[in-house]
Amino acid sequence: MRYAQVRDQIQSGDVLGVRAHGLFPGITRNVQKIGRLGGFSGITHAGVAWWVEGRLYSVEMDGKHNVLRPLSQYINSGLGVDIYRCPVALEHMRENFDKATALPISYDIMDLFRIGSRLIFGTSTGQDDDKHLVCSTFASRWMQWSGWQPPEGLPAMPSPAELCQSLGEAIFSLSPKS
């Protein structure tokens, strides 16, 4: 499906599963495949869709901290994006927008190793805090702050594939360069 066809149907709060390429996304994809996440394994990054003054952004962790990135940048870079409907009311996501975007949340590279170790070896990841998060944990935590009860079995630190899988079927799958 092409971005221009569905852009106006994407809602603030919808979860974005990005299918990136390159070395780091390749490692993420392969670790998730080993973790038996099937077709979801290609989702290597996650964000939350958010409309600001007529522009559609991804609210996400960028490897350093929480940021707003125009969603069109992913499409124009040749990346696929799957869209999952937000499981909580938009008003609750709005109530927690400042918490998700204004608090100083740093990226935690060690969480990536914990997630990978859990997927490959079955080790425990433990519980994360709200000040150091990776992309999928950030999106999951924002929805939890807004009242989402994650399905039983979803880890406290889900990988991007695990988060998207927990939300069910994508409502849209956007093709690159559309």
CB 43 within 8 A of CB 164: yes
Residue 175 has pLDDT above 70, yes or no: yes
Q: Is 87 helix (H, G, I), strand (E, B) or coil?
A: coil
CB 46 within 8 A of CB 15: yes
CB atoms within 10 A of CB 38: 11
Domain parsing of the chain, residue ranges: 3-174
pLDDT at 168: 97
Segments of 6-146 assigned E as strands: 15-19, 45-52, 55-61, 66-70, 80-84, 106-107, 132-133
Mean pLDDT confidence for 57-74: 91
pLDDT at 82: 98
Tokens coding 10? 């994407």
Tens digit of each residue's pLDDT (9 = 90 or more) over 86-121: 999 999 999 999 988 887 777 778 888 999 999 999
pLDDT at 128: 63
CA 134 to chain CA mean position, Å: 9
3-174: in CATH 3.40.50.10490: no
Which are the contacts of 129, defined by CB distance < 8 A and separation ≥ 6? none
pLDDT at 84: 98
pLDDT-derived band at 178 (thresholds 50, 70, 90) equals: very low
- Which of 52-66, 101-115, 156-170 has the lowest average pLDDT? 101-115
Overall pTM > 0.75: yes
Tens digit of each residue's pLDDT (9 = 90 or more) over 15-55: 999 999 999 999 999 999 999 999 999 999 999 999 999 99
pLDDT at 176: 72
CB atoms within 10 A of CB 95: 13
